[in-house]
Structure 1
Amino acid sequence: MNVETCTPSPACHQSLPSPAMLRQAIPSHPDLDERIKMQRRDICRVLSGEDSRLLVVTGPCSIHDPVAALDYAQRLLQLSEAVSDQLLLVMRVYIEKPRTITGWKGLAYDPQLDGSHDMAEGLRQSREVMRDIVSMGLPVATELLNPVVARYVDDLLAWGAIGARTTESQLHREMVSGLSLPVGFKNDTHGGIQVAVDAINSAAHGHYCFSVDDSGQPAACVTPGNRDTHLVLRGGASGPNFSPESVASASTLLAAAGVAPAIMVDCSHANSFKNPERQPEVLSSVIAQRRGGAEALRGVMLESFIAAGRQAFTGTELTYGQSVTDGCLSWERTEQELLRAAQALRAPMSCSSLQSVSVE
């Protein structure tokens, strides 16, 4: 091999603050820490079935404008008060986006959306918007994509997701095993569930692993294991997997592996054929199944923002509150559907059809 032809090591783009430094610059406080602890506890109780409510993780596909994110959060907080007897609302605050090849990777990577990749500013904005949303009183959720990024925000999270592309990753299973928050593992992109079941079992055990400590230094860690994990059905290459038959099959697979049957349905992605306007159909099915006795169904996920659809960013002025990644439901439609879902769950069991329940 000609050493001169080898790919060089990546050059440093910029120095970053350590996780401890960013936490000091954008601090939590004891009252907020206690609130997050209680939010995690409430979500765990829903996932375990101790709390009969349905967990709803909803929000933009990705955060690109902190102002619009806080606007959405205020609306969601008001809605939460109206549906809290039936639904536990948690806001999606996704600051990283997985990419098959290339594309905008999220607020943490490129907060200006211009290719400047000011990651230090991206981390600052990401932590600040999460802290501000939690301060409002809303639980915060995100996808845990890069374990290094997770160290900067994990103390603010009430729930986390491991995506379809990373559920099989040993690194992510080890990371989850060291977190003190509930986490959902998605089925893989082909629709396979066994990989997520294996991930749940792996994360429940302690691991010896390499990590980064709060000072930013490499560290050898021993994790305690995380038993507050569950399955997320998001469909796959073979199609949707939220039908009663799919849910029953997943429940059987979980039980056979000795895993508590707690299932969330992602109403987006392959379950809606990547059409955001079909998400309410998936939500309706979940509500009907819950009312029909599918106790394993404990949660749903929706992609929703202020304006419907998605937009490309090409240097022109962006539409306020509209996604720059996957298409989303509008706020008006989201509010309508969640009010409808809450009302359906309140209705006597003889009125089991979601479609039969009207919202004034």
Structure 2
Amino acid sequence: MPTPDELRAQLPLSALARKTTARARRDIAQILGGEDDRLVVIAGPCSVHDPEAALDYAARLAVLAEETRDRLLMVMRVYVEKPRTRIGWKGLLSDPQLDGTHDLPGGLRLARGLMARIADSGLPVACEFLDPLVPSYLADAVSWGAIGARTVQSQVHRQLTSGLGMPIGFKNTTDGGVADAVDAIVSASGAHVFPGLDGSGRAVVTTTRGNPNGHVVLRGGGDGPNYGREPVAEALARLAEARLPQQLIVDASHGNSNKDHERQPLVITDLARRIAAGERGVAGVMIESFLAPGRQDLPLGRTDRLTYGQSVTDACVDWPTTVDMVRDLADAVTTRREDVFAAG
């Protein structure tokens, strides 16, 4: 394995990539803090398996981001680690050749190179942090990070995110409970001391100051969706009780779509209607989206049989559907602004 310093030296971020990342971190924090009335929209494949298709998607998303930049802050999902409930392909970082060879050094290089190229295009990058060693290699290229439903209770991940420089979304647990995500935000906002590795790979004592930009991500759960007005209000009330900012992000996929990608537009339509009507508290949305709709099984070692631009993990909406969803959200922000202006 290369050390983090070695990998960053081999694949440095360009000046534009650094600027893109820093600006998006600042803007997301301002949206979450209520200082910016735009919505954060985090869109992209469930997990990246084909860098070429990911770059194709990124080029299209960059155009859409520019079209809606006055109302939305578009961030691309570049998820390279895939948490598994049992077993299966664990993501581009773990198995970049998709053949079970598990070339981790190659996966790290491929993942960092891909993130660097996307950020260099002016499009911010989002990812989920799963293995606690990975952020040392990739975090400087990431504008928004997530802690998943299976790891939101982990003290290790709460400590980790307390030292990361980007806003972090903590998902509700798989049963739909929000309390653990709120606890994680409070924990990660404080200072921690724990064992870690420095850039040279040496074991060190890590001291963090706390991350002030943690927030809840509602993704539904075992009891069903939680993107509706009442579950959102309940989550905001929990945040208020913890004296945290009353802003959250809604994941249109996973439990909120009952794992049916064709239901994601229904979630977005409902959210857009409520945002246009002036509902507050929803600072952004997540969309699982790729070039082709649905999903496909991964034939081990036979990438020639894969459909281009179609997910090999969770099913995604296709590109035309993505465009429609994003434009609906942009229109909702426009309507909300007009109503505020008319009332003011």
After TM superposition, the score normalised by the length of structure 1 is 0.91
CA separation of 1:222/1:350 partners in 2, compared to 1, >3 Å: closer, same or farther?
closer
Q: Distance in 1 between matches of 2:220 and 2:336?
A: 31
Deviation at 1:281, TM superposition (A): 1.0
Deviation at 1:119, TM superposition (A): 0.7
2:31 to 21, 36, 46: 46
Deviation at 1:348, TM superposition (A): 6.7
1:249 paired residue number: 234
Residue 341 of structure 1 aligns to a residue whose secondary structure is: helix
Tell me if 1:183 matches 2:171: no
Residue 185 of structure 2 aligns to a residue whose secondary structure is: helix
Q: Which runs of 5+ in 2 are unaligned?
A: 340-344
Tell me if 1:331 matches 2:298: no
Residue 333 of structure 1 aligns to a residue whose secondary structure is: helix
Deviations 1:108-132 (A, max 9, x none): 0000111010111100000000000
Deviation at 1:82, TM superposition (A): 1.2
Deviation at 1:151, TM superposition (A): 1.1
- State which drifts further: 171-180 or 339-348: 339-348
The amino acid of 1:277's aligned partner reads E
Deviation at 1:340, TM superposition (A): 2.4
CA separation of 1:350/1:86 partners in 2, compared to 1, >3 Å: closer, same or farther?
closer
The amino acid of 1:189's aligned partner reads T
Tell me if 1:344 matches 2:332: yes
The amino acid of 1:40's aligned partner reads R
Mapping 1:257-268, distance limit 5 Å: 257-268=242-253
1:357 paired residue number: none
Q: Distance in 1 between matches of 2:16 and 2:232?
A: 39
CA RMSD, Structure 1 to Structure 2 (Å): 1.5
1:358 paired residue number: none
- State which drifts further: 96-105 or 34-43: 34-43
1:111 paired residue number: 96
CA separation of 1:258/1:347 partners in 2, compared to 1, >3 Å: closer, same or farther?
closer
Mapping 1:1-360, distance limit 5 Å: 16-314=1-299, 315=302, 317-347=305-335
Deviation at 1:350, TM superposition (A): 9.1
- State which drifts further: 33-42 or 136-145: 33-42
The amino acid of 2:313's aligned partner reads T
Structure with higher Rg: it is 1
Residue 58 of structure 2 aligns to a residue whose secondary structure is: helix
Q: Which runs of 5+ in 1 are unaligned?
A: 1-15, 352-360
Q: Distance in 2 between matches of 1:143 and 1:174?
A: 15
Q: Distance in 2 between matches of 1:207 and 1:72?
A: 38
After TM superposition, the score normalised by the length of structure 2 is 0.95
Q: Distance in 1 between matches of 2:189 and 2:338?
A: 40
- State which drifts further: 61-70 or 33-42: 33-42
Q: Percent identity between the aligned chains?
A: 49
Q: Distance in 1 between matches of 2:14 and 2:289?
A: 30
Deviations 1:12-33 (A, max 9, x none): xxxx001111001001144432
The amino acid of 1:282's aligned partner reads V
Q: Distance in 1 between matches of 2:102 and 2:262?
A: 32
Q: Distance in 1 between matches of 2:322 and 2:21?
A: 25
Q: Distance in 1 between matches of 2:13 and 2:337?
A: 44
Q: Distance in 2 between matches of 1:32 and 1:274?
A: 33
Residue 149 of structure 2 aligns to a residue whose secondary structure is: coil
Residue 224 of structure 2 aligns to a residue whose secondary structure is: coil
The amino acid of 1:149's aligned partner reads V
Deviation at 1:343, TM superposition (A): 2.1
Aligned residues: 337
CA separation of 1:350/1:221 partners in 2, compared to 1, >3 Å: closer, same or farther?
closer
Q: Distance in 1 between matches of 2:71 and 2:23?
A: 18
The amino acid of 2:203's aligned partner reads P
Q: Distance in 2 between matches of 1:348 and 1:55?
A: 15
Deviations 1:226-265 (A, max 9, x none): 0111000001101100110001101111000111111100
